[in-house]
Amino acid sequence: MKISYLIAIALFLLSGCFSETEASNKPIRLVISGDQITIDGKALSFERPLQDWIDILGSDYIQGPKKPVNAFAIDRFIFPKLGIDLQVQTNYADVKSDWIDGEVGTLKDPYNRFVNVIRISMNPESKANPSDYRYLDKEEAEHPYYTMHADYAIDFYGAIVDSDTSIESVLSQSNIVKRNRKFHASVGVYSGYENLGNIVFNHFFGEQPEVSASMEVWPTKELRLENERRYFGEIVTQ
């Protein structure tokens, strides 16, 4: 009887058989660990407001609803040259209080909000998800949001990941395997660490090439709730 792929992963983890893997030949610029996040040696913090992130990442970003990218919203700040998409927390408990002069689609003082998720594009849409890319029109396909990617390597909880990294390579790097105990359609770190996150691979969706497509990192629930109390004076999400 054929064992399902996820069961095979679990057996692999329990076996403790870790193989050596070649490190990326790209420079490691972003480091994500249980203690902190750094880029080019400069520390980023989920406790700090967006403005502090901009001071480090630079002012070359795209913000707000900008056609033709439907995914864009007032709480998204995209850094095309870094392949990074930041999202700040909005006041879900009182949405209208966030609007400027009652105008829908606006956001008061977004630069003083905390970042609730980092999305990193490992591959341009055209390479990582060619089937999805076919449905984009020419204007969308040429937009920086769909073509951006991290052209550097990322130390993700001890696993060195770049745009050409396969899931097999990540699973064989013992540091991340020791930190991972829960899996679904991606490789993820879900509990016990200050920063949490996952890597999504085309591998799980039957796409070619079988490489890392994207990465997400977010604060723990405890820190997020603490931030909501600090920034909004109350819990604004469920």
Which pLDDT tens digit goes with each residue over 109-159?
999 999 999 999 998 766 666 555 556 677 777 788 888 999 999 998 888
Q: Give this prediction's pTM.
A: 0.81
- CB count within 10 Å of CB 206 equals 8
User: How far apart are alpha carbons 59 and 215 in whole angstroms?
Assistant: 22
Query: Does residue 17 fall inside a structural domain?
Result: no
* Main-chain phi, psi angles of 99, to 5 degrees: -75, 145
pLDDT (0 to 100) of residue 4: 39
- Residues 134, 13: Cα–Cα separation, whole Å: 37
Structural domain includes residue 37: no
Residue 14 in any domain: the answer is: no
CB 122 within 8 A of CB 128: yes
Asked whether residue 65 is assigned to any structural domain, the reply reads yes
What residues contact 13, with CB distance under 8 A and at least 6 apart? 171, 177, 180, 181
Domain assignment of residue 64, given as a range: 46-185+199-232
Asked if the structure places residue 23 within a domain, the reply is no
The number of domains in the chain is 1
User: What whole-number distance in Å separates Cα of residue 214 and Cα of residue 221?
Assistant: 22
What's the rounded Cα separation, in Å, for the pair 57 and 84?
A: 9
Find the range with the poorest average confidence among 10-14, 43-47, 129-133, 211-215: 10-14
Q: How much of the chain exceeds pLDDT 70, in percent? A: 71
Give a yes or no: residue 116 inside a domain. Answer: yes
Q: What is the pLDDT of residues 53-93, one digit of tens each?
A: 999 999 999 986 666 666 568 899 999 999 999 999 999 89
The chain-wide mean pLDDT, for the chain, equals 79
In a domain, 171, yes or no: yes
Does residue 1 belong to any structural domain of this protein? no
Omega within 30 of 0 (cis) for the link into 68: yes
